[in-house]
Chains A and B, each alone.
Chain A
């Protein structure tokens, strides 16, 4: 269970505003975190605290394939992104790096900026502690849940190659 303050944004939060291209020349996670969400919310990097939660609308993370986007959010200390839906490359990238995301249109709609939110990632449970409302996120297919449980894609691939004797 993680509890934090919600940073709420709208639909189509793109990877250019999550981490602008002018900062992609230095992919160190701590550097990326300094500029996370800069072009949509310049105060984000200065005010986010470990455990806080980003809430987005539809198509969160659309645009570029830059893995720097979920890396910058993860390195900011954010515990989870909740959205009505995710753009597919962002969705893959988050799973692949072992960063928790939850798809839940009802929570994405109801949670307000600054609400205190608790999430149980394994159970897919979201609680808006400020309003008392609870929500259930869409469950991951077992294969994807397995990748997440193993800490991302690489442990899965390594294990597979070793089994094949490579």
Chain B
């Protein structure tokens, strides 16, 4: 069985701020790490390596430095790594990112099962997995909180929905997005670091893809355009209210209504 896990290198901190005067993003240092949600996807795949002898490949899209998250995945026990890197992939939105990943996966020969994390900490959209499944023409499920059984033909699992737990079976090939906490991710091993230090990582550029039309990638392949970025309005008010008890109760009621805390009652 072949399993692909999609991973991403993200900024070490999500505390990015914008300078209100110059409009420039302020970022302290350029430290990066593996998207923390991806660790759960990796752990899920690695358990199938132990129980089913599955062969695990990680795929990431990003600058050449993103190699470091593939090395980290090797240290956890992943077999192969592919990096999709090309300047022409720059400026990709959700659609172009998912399309590029789908092309990279097709070029690599595909997989029986694709596992993604819940979301990334920088893009925060939680939507690349669903678009990727669409481009690959396979079923997907999100919110996977538990896996019961995996066979060559299907996977049985639980979906964590707001009010229910839904137990479903998905025919393979398929794509699953796992929840944080599905398993406790293992730590990278020093022994594996030594063993995998010289392991090759495949690099695919646009020219390696099945579809080599540059208009389908990067900024040109992105229907959404960021018009501008700006600092959020500060909501940190410090108000002091005084008045009669009736006035104060009325003001508080209006505040709760205005902030939609009474909405579920209707």
Answer whether A and B are interacting partners. no
